[in-house]
Structure 1
Amino acid sequence: MVVYKSFTLLTKQYNEMILITEEIEKAVAESGIQNGIIAVISKHTTTGITVNESLECLESDIDHFLKRLVPENYPYNHARMLKSYGSTAGNPTGHLKAHLTGNHCVFPIVSGELVKGDAQDVYFCEFDGPAKRTISISIIGE
């Protein structure tokens, strides 16, 4: 059986990390699938999905790390007029940070429960907000 769900977030900041573990666990419970896998995927190219320990100090460290790797004031090629879009591309840092974090995660489901480490939580990462964002979830199993 395959169950597809999605949910929408309204992000509030240009860069932010939002815990979505509870939404994922809820989707698993509602699916009725006992054994299988769940794939969580962001539908946007300037956002990420990542798994880490949910500590405020670690969130801050990740934010500072990404800002050092992808500074706002670098002369990126993407920061120019895009004729195909009819506007200026002003979000190269969002694309690059999303490239670093990835846009998905996958977990096993055993006996109707999401199988993850005790310190693992799932984050939705906004790198070009605030915006309305959609996360899609595919649960595959029996």
Structure 2
Amino acid sequence: MGIFQVVTKNRDEMVEITDSVQRYIQSIGIQEGIAVISSLHTTAGITVNENADPDVKQDFLRRLKEVYPWEHEQDLHAEGNTAAHLKTSTVGHAQTVIISDGKLVLGTWQGIYFCEFDGPRSRKYAVQVLLSGRDGA
């Protein structure tokens, strides 16, 4: 398993990690299997989304902010980051991506994103690769 660091600069931010995950898969020599990419935080998630138009990230974060405003008069959580927890639960803490011929199987416009919802912070995510029968598992 690989553990990786992401340093975010904003409260809400999407950082593309596709290349980092792909480099890790190449470094361990996996040809066939699946990669599970998991945030190690309750206020940051992982998603697969469009990586061609940067406006998609902005729209994505804006719409989450509309659904989960940072401050709500009925929130009880003492840290004041209930919105970040809700965003993470909505996006999910992990994604699974197929590996074939040593490469992540993603569509033309897809990328893997670390989603920060309570930054800026230094964060971590894990990548665990599960082998298919073709790799001897």
User: Which of 112, 119, 129 is residue 129 of structure 1 equivalent to?
Assistant: 119
Deviations 1:52-89 (A, max 9, x none): 1022111111011101100123124333xxxxxxxx32
Tell me if 1:20 matches 2:25.
no
User: Which of 77, 88, 94 is residue 98 of structure 1 equivalent to?
Assistant: 88
CA pair 12-30 structure 1, distance change in 2 beyond 3 A: same
Deviations 1:91-114 (A, max 9, x none): 111101111111111111111111
Counterpart of 2:17, as a letter, is: I
Show the 5 A alignment for 1:47-66: 47-54=44-51, 55-66=53-64
Give the alignment's TM-score, normalised by structure 1. Answer: 0.88
Show the 5 A alignment for 1:1-142: 4-54=1-51, 55-79=53-77, 88-141=78-131, 142=135
CA pair 76-104 structure 1, distance change in 2 beyond 3 A: farther
Whole-Å Cα distance in 2 between the matches of residues 78 and 109 of structure 1? 42
Whole-Å Cα distance in 2 between the matches of residues 59 and 76 of structure 1? 29
Identity over aligned residues, as a percent? 36
- Count of aligned pairs: 131
- Give the unaligned 5+ runs of structure 1: 80-87
Counterpart of 1:113, as a letter, is: K
- Give the unaligned 5+ runs of structure 2: none
**Alignment check: 8 A CA contact 2:4 2:125 kept:** yes
CA pair 41-76 structure 1, distance change in 2 beyond 3 A: farther
CA RMSD in angstroms comes to: 1.1
